[in-house]
Amino acid sequence: MHVTQDAGSMPHADEQPAIDVRGLRKSFGSFVALDDIRLTVPRAAVGLLGANGAGKTTLIRTLLGLISPDSGSASVVGFDTRAEGTKVREFVGYMPEAEGLPTNTTAADFVGHMAEMSGLPPRAARQRAADVLYQVGLAEERYRLIKGFSTGMRQRVKLAQAIVHDPKLIFLDEPTSGMDPEGREEMLELIERVYRQLGIAVVVSTHILEDVEKVCNYVVILDGGRLVAAQTLGGLDVIGGEAIVHIDGDQDAFQRGLESQGVTVRPADLEMGFEELVVEVNDEAVYDLIRDLAVEQGASLRSLRTRSRSLEDIYLGTVGEMREEVRHRV
Amino acid sequence: MSDTTSPIPAAPNEGASRYGEVFDRGYAHYDGPREGRRRAIVSLFGYSIKRALGIRKSWTAKILPALLYFSAFIPLIVMIGISALIPQAEVASYPEYFQAIALLEVIFVAIIVPEMLVPDRRERTLPLYFARAITRFDYVFAKIAAATVLTMTMSVIPAIILWLGRQLTADSPASAMRDNIDDLARVILLGTIIALTLGTISLVISSLTDRKGVAIAVIVIGGLVFGGLAELAMAELGQDWRRYMIFVAPGQVYAAIASSLFNSEPGRYVQIADLPALAYYAWSAVVVIGGSLFVRWRYSPRNAS
């Protein structure tokens, strides 16, 4: 599956792709972790979705140049992951999910050290460490030992070390894992700020669909090592969704009229009100059909409101389709 | 640094002094030099040394390294001082000195080396390191270099001070230095071999555990027990192969190298082994190369992520 996208609304869409994957395959023994992944991702805020074992971590590790693929190739921010692994990592940041910080050192020392580990000279590294710790809200605490930090503060240190060398792209692995609701909100705001204001492309690997909906404008869905979808989120809102229609008139006739035009319609459930119809909108022309049919049947259109497909709908729909397809092939 | 993305200065108070102004520093992109792998390796090397010595950590982390340095340097300075005041007093020979300080060196590497390696595994910072501009080999190389250099501060520097002290207390220091410059080279060679081999053995042991205490105990107790058993076997067993037991006792290997370098009378176990000097140098090379490869294997993606 090769997907390119309408990225016109994205701040950095005009630049070279952040990630370009060409037929990537990686297996561990008989387990296929990545199966012929073909993908071009713009410099966007990308949500990488998938269940456990879907291949998210293997994909990230391959893109970081830490794992060699069995076949295929990938380039990240313009560098080939196989031949230029260290160069990729010089310009890419990574925030792992696992608690992984030295406890007996200060945030400033550690983040500064990580900047040097990405190739920055010592003086610039110290300066950058102070700057990014300020950006993530740890200016006051930067000279405190990390062992005294809360979970939220540690996550901020991890984010700071990921951006300290001014990368072009950062991979965030479950960035809100283990955080309380308030801390989670703050982390999501920070991630959005990293993308919107600092201009750094972001790939957020997560199970939490809501996090992706909040901060991402592009989604990549993996399932069982296969690419299920890679597309803009905004685009899906426009073309996908439902219209909730309330008419004064013969509702059954109205439903039959729409169905005769090939539109999928069902009566609304109890939650919405029995007098309403739920019309699937796959094309802008459906709205014209509703209007014209109302005129033709002499029914008054009392209300028409749209409901976008949630990311959960998209996720469940695309993953379900892919599994069905695989089952069918087998 | 330049190309400020969001330089949002807070509205300045026209009448305020410039010292009272508050600015949002915004975020500046970095367009300075990027020194890549070389800088990363140097940084990891320096950070490992600082961490092992407790620099920029709480004062309690500095106590043990400081005590060990005192234990190595103070007796040495006292010995040189006595020989300066009492010319008849015998100063230890280099092989004697290296033998005397061997236990201290083992304790030193046992304290220092696990501190360089174990916390990265225990605190799970390895994914952060391997996501930077280094390879796994670079990581292992930087750690071995740091362990060796730090151990050299205990094995080479005191020996150089001893050499210097001997020359300065001679009747004609300048000519003594000229005459004995070969001894300086031998002292540095022996100290470096000790640092490389002890450092590598300690790294191998440290790479096998996530607990510093375990690594320290295995290095110290293991070193004493294996060394003792090897010496016992060499002394008591009648078979010819007992001579090779010397390779299980690093202290005796160092004694053999010292004896060959300084043409001194070999000790009992070195005499029992009766091996050519080349065998001891080969042992050192095997330990360093084999140990490095082992540590690299321990840090392969399969074993450490």
Residue B93 is predicted with a pLDDT of: 86
* pLDDT tens-place string over residues B84-131: 888 777 778 889 888 888 889 999 999 999 999 999 989 989 989 999
Cβ <8 Å between A120 and B25: no
CB A27 within 8 A of CB A53: no
- Assess whether pLDDT exceeds 70 at residue B171: yes
User: Is residue B174 predicted with pLDDT exceeding 70?
Assistant: yes
Specify the pLDDT at position B2.
41
Please say if the pLDDT value at position A3 is more than 50. Answer: no
Are B127 and A94 within 8 A, CB to CB?
A: yes
The confidence score (pLDDT) of residue B138 equals 94
Segment B229-249 shows an average pLDDT of 86
- Give the model confidence (pLDDT) of B29-65 as tens digits: 899 999 999 999 999 999 999 999 988 777 888 899 9
What is the DSSP code (8-state) at residue B23?
B
Q: In what order do the strands lie in the sheet with A71-76?
A: A31-41, A19-28, A71-76, A79-80
Which chain B residue has its CA at the smallest distance from A161's CA?
A: B128
Q: ipTM for the complex?
A: 0.80
**Residue A5 pLDDT class (50, 70, 90 cuts):** very low
pLDDT band at B19 (very low <50, low <70, confident <90, very high): low
Please report, rounded to a whole number, the percentage of residues in chain B having pLDDT higher than 70.
90
Q: Strand pairing of B2-4 and A92-95?
A: unpaired
Q: Do A197 and B27 touch (CB under 8 A)?
A: yes
Partner-chain contact B1 A89, CB within 8 Å = no
Interacting residues of B7 by C-beta distance below 8 A, sequence separation 6+: B24, B26
Flag if B131 and A134 touch (Cβ within 8 Å).
Answer: no
Provide φ and ψ at A265, rounded to 5°.
-135, 145
- Average pLDDT score, chain A: 85
Domain extents in chain B: 36-298
A161 with B301: Cβ contact below 8 A: no
Going by the DSSP 8-state scheme, the letter that residue B90 receives in this structure is P
**B44 contacts A90? CB cut-off 8 A:** no
Residue A278: which of A298, A296, A254, A294 has the closest Cα?
A254
DSSP annotation of B8: -
- Res. A154: pLDDT tops 80: yes
Four-residue CA torsion sign, B116, A149, A120, A199: positive
Measured between beta carbons, the chain B residues lying within 8 angstroms of A118 are 34, 40, 132-133
Asked if the Cβ–Cβ distance from A102 to B33 is below 8 Å, we say: no
Q: What is the pLDDT of residue A329?
A: 67
Least confident interval from A236-250, A271-285, B2-16, B164-178: B2-16
Among chain A residues, CA nearest to B142: A117
Q: What is the pLDDT, as a whole number, of residue B86?
A: 84
Minimal Cβ distance to B133: which of A119, A122, A197: A119
The residue with greater pLDDT, A11 or A282, is A282
For every residue of A244-268, DSSP letters joined together read EEEEES-HHHHHHHHHHTT--EEE-
pLDDT at A81: 93
With residues binned 3-state (H G I as helix, E B as strand, rest as coil), the percentages for chain A, rounded to 5, are: 40, 25, 35
Q: Is the pTM of the predicted complex or chain greater than 0.90?
A: no
Q: Specify the residue for token string 């890419």.
A: A92
**How many whole angstroms separate alpha carbon B258 and alpha carbon B256?**
5
Is residue A304 predicted with pLDDT exceeding 90?
no
Average pLDDT (A320-324) is 70
Task: Give the chain B residue nearest A105 (alpha carbons).
Answer: B57
Q: Say how far apart CA A140 and CA A156 lie, in whole Å.
A: 13
Number of CB pairs, chain A paired with chain B, less than 8 A apart: 116
Residues of B with CB under 8 A from a CB of A: 1, 5-6, 25, 27-30, 32-37, 39-40, 42-44, 47, 51, 56-58, 61, 119, 123-135, 301, 305
At A269 the pLDDT is 65
Do B39 and A119 make contact, defined as CB atoms within 8 angstroms? yes
Q: Residue A27: pLDDT band by 50, 70, 90 thresholds? A: very high
- State the sign of the Cα–Cα–Cα–Cα dihedral A147, A148, A150, A155: negative
Which of A9-13, B51-55, B238-242 has the least mean pLDDT? A9-13
Task: Work out the minimum CA distance from B199 to partner chain A, whole angstroms.
Answer: 23
- Read off the pLDDT of residues B254-302 as tens digits, 9 standing for 90 and up: 999 999 999 988 888 999 888 999 999 999 999 999 999 999 999 887 6
What's residue A231's pLDDT?
A: 84
Whole-number pLDDT of residue B6: 40
CB proximity list for A266: less than 8 A, separation 6 or greater: A277, A278
Residue B221, SS3 per DSSP: helix
pLDDT of residue B130: 93
Nearest to A100 among B47, B123, B133 (CB): B123
Averaged pLDDT for residues A139-162: 92
Which of A90, A114, A125 is facing B128, going by the closest CB pair? A114
Residue from A82, A166, A172, A198 whose CB has the most chain B CBs within 10 Å, to mutate: A166
Reduce the DSSP state of residue B35 to 3 states and report it: coil
More confident site: B99 or B26: B99
pLDDT in tens, A244-286: 888 888 888 999 999 998 888 888 765 555 578 888 887 778 8
CA of B73 to nearest chain A CA: how many angstroms apart? 29
**Half-sphere exposure at residue B48, Cβ-oriented, CA atoms within 13 angstroms:** 29
Rounded (10°) CA dihedral A7, A13, A15, A21: -50
Q: Do B132 and A89 touch (CB under 8 A)?
A: yes
Taking 80 as the threshold, does the pLDDT of residue B216 lie above it?
Answer: yes
Percent of chain B with pLDDT over 90: 55
Does residue B10 carry a pLDDT above 90?
Answer: no
CB–CB of B1 and A98 under 8 A?
A: no
pLDDT at B240 over 90: no
Chain B residues whose beta carbon lies within 8 Å of the beta carbon of residue A92: 131
Nearest CA in chain B to A57: B305
Q: What pLDDT does residue A34 have? A: 92
**What CA–CA distance (Å, rounded) separates A37 from A8?**
24
Residues B133, A104: C-beta atoms closer than 8 Å: no
Which member of A96, A103, A116 has the closest CB to residue B123? A103
Please answer yes or no on whether A105 and B39 come within 8 Å at the CB atom.
Answer: no
| Residue-wise pLDDT tens digits, A108-145 | 999 999 999 999 999 999 999 999 999 999 999 999 99
Of B25, B43, B124, which has the smallest distance from its Cβ to A100's Cβ?
B124
Q: How far apart are CA A93 and CA B127, in angstroms?
A: 12
Most confident of A209-213, B24-28, B235-239: A209-213
Contact list in B for residue A106 (CB cut-off 8 A) is 56
Does the beta-carbon distance from B37 to A145 stay under 8 Å?
no
